[in-house]
Amino acid sequence: MTRMRKFLFAAAVLAVVGMSTSGASVAKAADRMVVERAWTRATPPSAKTASAYLVLRNAGSSDDRLVRIESQVAETIEVHSMTMDGGIMRMRRLDAPLTIPAGGEVRLDPGGLHLMMMGLKTPLREGDRIKLDLVFERAGRVAVEMPIARLGATEPPR
Ligand SMILES: [Cu+2]
């Protein structure tokens, strides 16, 4: 291959790899709210709740708020925070909709903010994927597909 061809070939490979990794957990609505690193984990057979995680990046020029989360997999989905209370980790629903500052990001990670899926309709199985709709005040509805990591995982699956 010529030098130029080699370069083009490498660029094409990178483009394909980039698409396959980002396409999994990235969604966009009017290029304003970007969702990255969305994932959840497998649940034991009888579990009725599960946490989900993601990064919300507000690419718009105004603050935005996550007003609703919908999915076929659970009855209700809330945003929860986790705080230490006398040495005990407690989680609770946010009092107000989660705000994502203009040009900023909010991370939902294990041990901190998370999406709480309650009333699971079926157990979550490792290797499957689930779909959620995030509804923002400004960016509108953003569809998110998240992979399911193994039971007890603390990081998204690769
Ligand atoms: Cu929770």
To which H or E segment does residue 22 belong? helix 3-25
115 CA distance to ligand 1 middle (Å): 7
pLDDT bucket at 84, cuts 50 / 70 / 90:
confident
Q: 97 pLDDT exceeds 80?
A: yes
- Domain map (residue ranges) of the chain: 26-149
Cα-to-centroid distance, 32 and ligand 1 (Å): 27
pLDDT per residue as tens digits for the range 116-130: 999 999 999 999 999
Rg over CA atoms, the chain: 18
Structure-model confidence comparison of residues 16 and 63, the more confident one: 63
Is pLDDT at 144 greater than 80 in this prediction? yes
- Band (96; pLDDT cuts 50, 70, 90): very high
**If you average pLDDT over residues 140-156, what whole number do you get?**
97
Q: What is the mean pLDDT of residues 72-96?
A: 94
Span from the CA of 98 to the centroid of ligand 1 (angstroms): 14
32 and 40 Cβ atoms separated by less than 8 Å = no
Cα 50 to ligand 1 centre (Å): 8
Tens-digit pLDDT profile for residues 45-56? 999 999 999 999
Helix (H, G, I), strand (E, B) or coil at 21: helix
Report the separation in Å between the CA atom of 90 and the middle of ligand 1, taken as the mean of its atom positions. 9
Residue with the two structure tokens 């699971």: 120
Q: Which residue has the higher pLDDT, 20 or 98?
A: 98
Going from the Cα of 45 to the center of ligand 1, the distance in angstroms, rounded, reads 19
Cα(12) to centroid(ligand 1), Å? 42
27 CA from centroid of ligand 1 (Å)? 23
Q: What is the mean predicted confidence (pLDDT) over 73-78?
A: 98
CATH 2.60.40.1890 for domain 26-149:
yes
Predicted local distance difference test score (pLDDT) of residue 156: 96
How remote is the CA of residue 80 from the centroid of ligand 1, in Å?
Answer: 5
pLDDT tens figures, 18-62? 344 444 444 444 458 999 999 999 999 999 999 999 999 999 999
At residue 155, φ and ψ (nearest 5 deg) are: -140, 155
Residues around the ion ligand 1 (C-beta < 5 A): 80, 91, 116
pLDDT at 32: 87
Q: For residues 75 and 91, give the distance between their C-alpha atoms in angstroms, rounded to a whole number.
A: 19
pLDDT recorded at residue 12? 46
Cβ-based neighbours of 130, under 8 Å, separated by 6 or more: 40, 71, 73, 124, 145, 146, 148
Give the pLDDT mean for 94-107: 96
